[in-house]
Structure 1
Amino acid sequence: MPTGIHHVTGITRRVQANVDFYAGFLGLRLVKRTGGFEDAEQLHLFYGDALGSPGSLVTFLVWEDGAPGRVGHGQVAEIALAVPPESIGDWLTRAMTARVPVEGPLRERGETVLRLKDPDGVTVKLVGVDLPATAPLPDPIAPTRLRGATILTEQPQATRDFLARFGYRPGAAEGAVQRMESDTDTVDIRDATGFFPGIPGTGILDHVAFRAPDADAVRRMRLELKDTDATTVHDRKYFLSLYVREPAGTLLEYATDAPGFTLDEAPEHLGETLFVPPHDAARADDLRVILPQFALPGEERSPMRELHFIHRFHRPESPDGSTIVLLHGTGGNESDLMPLAHRMAPNATLLGVRGRSTEEGINRWFRRHDAVTYDQDDIRAETEAFAGFIDEAARAYALDPGALTYLGYSNGANLLGAAMQLHPGLIGRAVLLRAVQVLEEPPALDAQALAGSRVLMLTGARDPFARMAPALERALRDGGAALEARVIEAGHELQPEDLTLAAGWLAHD
């Protein structure tokens, strides 16, 4: 009967840096990439030994540019990976050469330890201990399996007792740390009484999963946990599992070994294909556009720059050289419009941008006082900042500003309309979906100020804001833009006709 850790899951805000660290620096194998089973718009990456064996797995949910969390009690604080004892010196040299933050070597419980920080600040311990890999990796000093994890708790005895359900027994205590042992690894329970609580977010370890021998064991555990907050049994395709919080709040999972990651990929091709959960199969094509792209070590990659707006590229398999800049609506993000834009122009590179203004925790492009009254100073400041972003993005990514097409919806379309008036010449070609005039005192444009600019405006006949669209149409036409304005049978929401009309308009550009 297997016991011990099945996997540990963290949250990262930079997918490429995460891949470079775990698959590149540490040398683990990326054995699966999939949309999340709870939220398919979150990329989920699984790293492990050559076959992704339970007990070797470190997984990450990708919250690209997500808010950072805070490590505190009620959380997994660090993970430990076993490496060959004689390799610690090589790992220290490797870390120093790669400029990976490292502490040690130290002696802990008779074992030599290096403490590393991954790009998100997650603590990863390399422990020199002879624990052979189930499926060894090519690098002779690569991690062999998980050595353990550390949990911070304000209820150490209750946490220890709860872990006993999963096959752990008390080991030696040292100071504030009680070690719990399985047949294959350890969990250190650290008394964090008085410490601040953990906060979910990027840069934290979300949960630790323990091994279940089979599906019946998971179902029995569910019955044993009937008086707790344990979830129903979930089919994660590669394993069955349930989730529960131990008394001090740390999220735990109980997961089967089978069927494993070779269920839908041959062993020699593990991790090569992006899968989506079966229940999201109907939108698989959209998800493959929404989920962030990355390159494995050794693969050709496109650099990403730190610019003044959070942004993301989607690069199609056969790019035609065109680029569409995407501006989301209220509450959206940089990937929202990618499926729509990809259907409009399948071979265009997509540059999604996130607005910098927030309102009640949701993303916007500029502040507003109410639904139809907008902060004029903020509009002007953010359009100027956006113009600066386009200039720096053009230089950073070798883009031709004059060849860019812009696609905006609602709040994003409103910013584009304002930018065309406040910064003539910035935008040469734009599709504005449900746009209105947001400038209370628009500048008086010269009749040729927007000459050469082409704009498609699509307004919903039932859109409650439609009465404000004609003012924007007049301003753009008065400035000399070639404007095609259409009213379609829709409200403020997007409709299939938006795709049809915009795709046709782009095709005849």
Structure 2
Amino acid sequence: MNLPHPTGLHHLTAIATDAQSNIDFYAGLLGLRLVKNTVNFDDPSAYHLYYGDEHGTPGSIVTFFYWPGATRGQVGSGQVTAITLAAPAAALDFWRERLERHGVTVTPRHRFGEDVLAFSDPDGIPLEIVGVAADPRPGWTGAGISPAHAIHGLHTAELTVREAGPTEDLLTTVMGWSLVRRDAHRARFTAGAGGPGHFVDVIADPSAPRGTGGAGTVHHLAFRVPDDGAELAMQGRIADAGYHVSDVRDRDYFRSIYYRERGGILFEIATDTPGFAVDEAVTALGQTLQLPRQFRSARSRIEALLPSLRAARRYSP
């Protein structure tokens, strides 16, 4: 019997220190849509903001936890070591000029036949924009960036581990992904037919410092499955393979299970449903604070604790 597997990337979640600076950078400078303004499920004194395309489509989403006093983390092995986004190949000159004009240092790279711009966000999280020849996903243009230049969503999840074998075996067996190509210490895996939003790169680096969680690091990687049935099937398969997997957690906009792969990276399996429009209209996504069910009765107290936020800074094209 062919059981369902994750069909691509769902989202990445990272740790930042200042929500407003983060909004200005990701929604203002990079032009992503702020699709959900909420709080951490375990800490309602901290914002949890989601960025993506118009609808917050799985595969377009980058999210952040915000802890102003968080200790700086160390980017290294046992982590997702970059947030890698996709944009049209012809837009890379636009992005390089725009980023550099606003004080962001950009380093050009070339990987697997595609040009890449590498830079960092205000918390030092490594970021990349990969120029893609064909990506059918529409970008968000509400921030004033044209369709010809807009970022379309995630391109790749980059995993750095000291020993690649166990991670690669997990991807190709339990997760059902396929090896696309290998270049020295980097191997690319894909779900289905592949394409941006369906890639995972495993980097084997025995000399890499051990990553430590904290500000400026990626907290976890979420893979997507279509529905609850597929998630339960994955939960069973992960447990049968000897991993400790969580129970199903209701995150309001998707349901999730969590486990750590052998290299130490926290993986999440998240459902495509129900999506971000369950508590506000698509046209109004991200405009007002939405609270998880367990915190709604404490809205006034939570709002008093949270710093006020303003709309993203508007950058010139």
Contact 2:139 2:153 in 1 (8 A): no
- The secondary structure found in structure 2 opposite 1:158 is helix
Q: Which residue of 2 aligns with 1:148?
A: 156
For residues 19 and 282 of structure 2, the distance between their equivalents in structure 1, rounded to whole angstroms, comes to 23
**Of residues 216, 223, 226 in structure 1, which corresponds to 2:229?**
216
For residues 222-265 of structure 1, the C-alpha deviation after alignment (integer angstroms, 9 at most, x for no partner) is 22222322111100000011011001110010000110001111
What TM-score does the superposition give when structure 1 sets the normalisation length? 0.57
Q: Is the aligned partner of 1:251 residue 2:266?
A: yes
**Of residues 1, 9, 14 in structure 2, which corresponds to 1:10?**
14
For residues 43-70 of structure 1, the C-alpha deviation after alignment (integer angstroms, 9 at most, x for no partner) is 1000000111100000000112321111
> What is the CA distance between 1:135 and its match in structure 2?
6.1
Matches within 5 A, 1:436-451: none
Q: Is the aligned partner of 1:30 residue 2:45?
A: no
Larger Rg: 1
> What is the CA distance between 1:181 and its match in structure 2?
1.4
For residues 268 and 15 of structure 1, the distance between their equivalents in structure 2, rounded to whole angstroms, comes to 22
Matches within 5 A, 1:406-421: none
Q: Which residue of 2 aligns with 1:370?
A: none
> What is the CA distance between 1:17 and its match in structure 2?
1.2
Q: Is the aligned partner of 1:172 residue 2:166?
A: no
CA RMSD of aligned residues (A): 1.5
**Of residues 222, 235, 238 in structure 1, which corresponds to 2:250?**
235
Q: Which residue of 2 aligns with 1:201?
A: 214
Q: Is the aligned partner of 1:118 residue 2:133?
A: no
Q: How many pairs were matched up?
A: 298
Contact 1:48 1:58 in 2 (8 A): yes
For residues 280 and 176 of structure 2, the distance between their equivalents in structure 1, rounded to whole angstroms, comes to 31
For residues 275 and 50 of structure 1, the distance between their equivalents in structure 2, rounded to whole angstroms, comes to 17
For residues 235 and 313 of structure 2, the distance between their equivalents in structure 1, rounded to whole angstroms, comes to 44
For residues 296-327 of structure 1, the C-alpha deviation after alignment (integer angstroms, 9 at most, x for no partner) is 2258xxxxxxxxxxxxxxxxxxxxxxxxxxxx
> What is the CA distance between 1:15 and its match in structure 2?
1.3
Contact 1:132 1:145 in 2 (8 A): no
- The secondary structure found in structure 1 opposite 2:45 is coil
> What is the CA distance between 1:134 and its match in structure 2?
4.8
What TM-score does the superposition give when structure 2 sets the normalisation length? 0.90
Matches within 5 A, 1:266-285: 266-285=281-300
Q: Which residue of 2 aligns with 1:87?
A: 91
For residues 273 and 124 of structure 2, the distance between their equivalents in structure 1, rounded to whole angstroms, comes to 32
What is the one-letter code of the residue matched to 2:211? G
For residues 247 and 103 of structure 1, the distance between their equivalents in structure 2, rounded to whole angstroms, comes to 31
Matches within 5 A, 1:54-453: 54-104=58-108, 106-129=109-132, 130-134=134-138, 136-138=140-142, 139=145, 140=147, 141-164=149-172, 165-182=174-191, 183-184=194-195, 185-226=198-239, 227-298=242-313
For residues 347-370 of structure 1, the C-alpha deviation after alignment (integer angstroms, 9 at most, x for no partner) is xxxxxxxxxxxxxxxxxxxxxxxx
Contact 1:4 1:55 in 2 (8 A): yes
Q: Which residue of 2 aligns with 1:330?
A: none
Contact 2:181 2:188 in 1 (8 A): yes
- The secondary structure found in structure 1 opposite 2:230 is helix
What is the one-letter code of the residue matched to 1:147? H
Query: Where does structure 1 lack aligned partners over 5 or more consecutive residues?
Result: 300-509
What is the one-letter code of the residue matched to 1:188? D
Contact 2:33 2:140 in 1 (8 A): no
Query: Where does structure 2 lack aligned partners over 5 or more consecutive residues?
Result: none
Q: 1:21 to 1:135 in 2, by over 3 A?
A: closer
- The secondary structure found in structure 2 opposite 1:225 is helix
What is the one-letter code of the residue matched to 2:152? T
- The secondary structure found in structure 1 opposite 2:166 is helix
Higher helix share: 1
Structure with more contact order per residue of length (Cα contacts < 8 Å, sep ≥ 6): 2
> What is the CA distance between 1:166 and its match in structure 2?
3.0
What is the one-letter code of the residue matched to 2:88? P
Higher strand share: 2
> What is the CA distance between 1:275 and its match in structure 2?
1.4
